[in-house]
Amino acid sequence: MALAGGDGPGQAAYINVFEPSSLIVTEGDSVQWRVTSGEPHTVLFLNNQPPPKEINLDTLENPIGGLNPSYDGTKQIYSGFIVPDPKTNYTVKFTKAGNYPFICLIHPGMDGSVTVLSPGLFVPTQAQIDADGKKVQAAGEAAVRRMIAAAPTAATRSASGWIVPASPYLPVPGGFVAQNVFTPARLSIGAGDTVTWMGDIPQAHTVTFTGGGPPAGDPTQPTKAKSYTGGFASSGLLGKAPGVGPELFTGGTSFSLTFPNPGTYTYICILHIDQGMAGVVEVGAPGTGGAAPSPAAPGGALAGGAPIVVRPPATGDGGLAGSTAAAWPLALAVAFAGIATLGVMRARARI
Ligand SMILES: [Cu+2]
């Protein structure tokens, strides 16, 4: 048994690494992968070929070859989504000696290998595997703390408007750690300003405006309008990783919208809204970008006319410094308004 990924310390922080990533077993042994963290994972044995053509955004969560396959290295097998439900555990019986690399399809860079030895050769015990896994988890937790400490806390201003940097991300051996929050989660701009959300990391996210209800379109596909005055708009799946194209990252690496009208506009990440991944663009009079938003806004104004910086409420050890829960539930209440209808959509797109 090995864990696929783990929770990190802090709000919506995840260790997207197999724990452990390298396994050594005996011919005839079975390996079971489980997920206990809030982020789903997959196990895909590519057998030195591109991912199977039958996997797309609609079929991503379904296994190929069943949940209990035998594997001799001659075909491709895929777990589908492994989540904390034991019914999704993935158990593979290895019938032939060899070295078999695998990846998590939905977390580019998260990979591992199973080395299958002939009977009679030494292989680690489950206790040793567990100990290795705990070391990976501990290293991941340390990496999460480093990542959060270095995370951006403000949007930057450029000639084209405001730039919201990609969510916190840090590569580690065997994968990456990530925090699924918008940084900053609240941005104050002037009417007519353009906001660009960056998504140039392997962890996919969306920037999805619903206008308060369920999305009036498919949030996993980018909408074309450049200007936002209300209703539905979405970035599609933003992300960037070697060898991964628009079949997964439908929205490319950034998403821009111009806001011509003053108002308060809430948006969510359709993949991670259950983790609280939401943001607010507060649009004031033209030229007021960077001014303080409403007094009730959490986080408070920063000195020097810098944009308001707000993050979701921190929970537990290693939470985000400076976050204030006070007014956050308002934004979340808006964002969650249409969530009940999103289950299927999110499950299918959940990466
Ligand atoms: Cu997200």
The domain spans of the chain are: 2-146, 154-349
Higher pLDDT, 19 or 307: 19
**pLDDT band, very low/low/confident/very high, at 290 (cuts 50, 70, 90):** low
The pLDDT score that the predictor gives to residue 343 is 42
User: Which sign does the torsion angle of CA 136, 139, 145, 150 carry?
Assistant: negative
What pLDDT does 239 receive? 97
Percentage of residues in the chain with pLDDT exceeding 70? 82
Topology of 2-146 in CATH?
Answer: Immunoglobulin-like (2.60.40)
> Percent of the chain having pLDDT more than 90?
69
Q: Note the pLDDT of residue 320.
A: 28
* Residue 123 CA, ligand 1 centroid: distance in Å: 39
**Centre of ligand 1 from the C-alpha of residue 326, in Å:** 22
pLDDT reported for residue 154: 84
pLDDT band at 214 (very low <50, low <70, confident <90, very high): confident
As a whole number of angstroms, the distance between CA 280 and CA 289 comes to: 14
Distance 47 CA to ligand 1 centre (A): 30
Instruction: Tell me the pLDDT tens digit for each residue of 46-96.
Output: 999 999 999 988 899 999 999 999 999 999 999 999 999 999 999 999 999
- The overall average pLDDT reported for the chain is 83
Say which amino acid occupies 159: A
CB atoms within 10 A of CB 106: 23
Which tokens hold the place of 55?
A: 């996997």
Which residue is listed with tokens 């991964």?
244
- In this predicted model, which residue has the larger pLDDT, 329 or 186? 186
Q: What is the mean pLDDT of residues 3-31?
A: 92
Q: 274 C-alpha vs ligand 1 centroid, how far in Å? A: 10
pLDDT over threshold 60, residue 172: yes
pLDDT of residue 337: 31
Looking at per-residue pLDDT, the higher value among 207 and 9 belongs to 207
Average pLDDT over residues 300-315: 28
Name the least confident of 77-86, 235-244, 318-327: 318-327
CATH topology of domain 154-349: Immunoglobulin-like (2.60.40)
Taking a C-beta distance cutoff of 8 angstroms, is the pair 308, 297 a contact? yes
Domains 2-146 and 154-349 share a fold: yes
Q: What is the mean pLDDT of residues 295-323?
A: 29
CA of 74 to the centre of ligand 1 (A): 35
pLDDT at 3 over 70: yes
Phi-psi region of 290 (alpha: psi -120 to 50; beta: other; left: phi over 0): left
How many angstroms is it from 277 CA to the middle of ligand 1? Answer: 6
Ligand 1 centroid to residue 70 C-alpha, Å: 34
Mean pLDDT over residues 182-201, rounded?
94
pLDDT at 305 over 90: no
Report the pLDDT value the prediction gives residue 315, as an integer from 0 to 100: 32
> Measured between alpha carbons, how far is 219 from 232 in angstroms, rounded to an integer?
9
Expressed in angstroms and rounded, the spacing between residue 42 Cα and the centre of ligand 1 is 17
Phi, psi of 144 (to 5 degrees): -60, -45
Tell me, in angstroms, the distance from the centre of ligand 1 to residue 182's CA: 8
Least confident among 1-15, 222-236, 266-280? 1-15
Residue 156 in this model has a pLDDT that exceeds 70:
yes
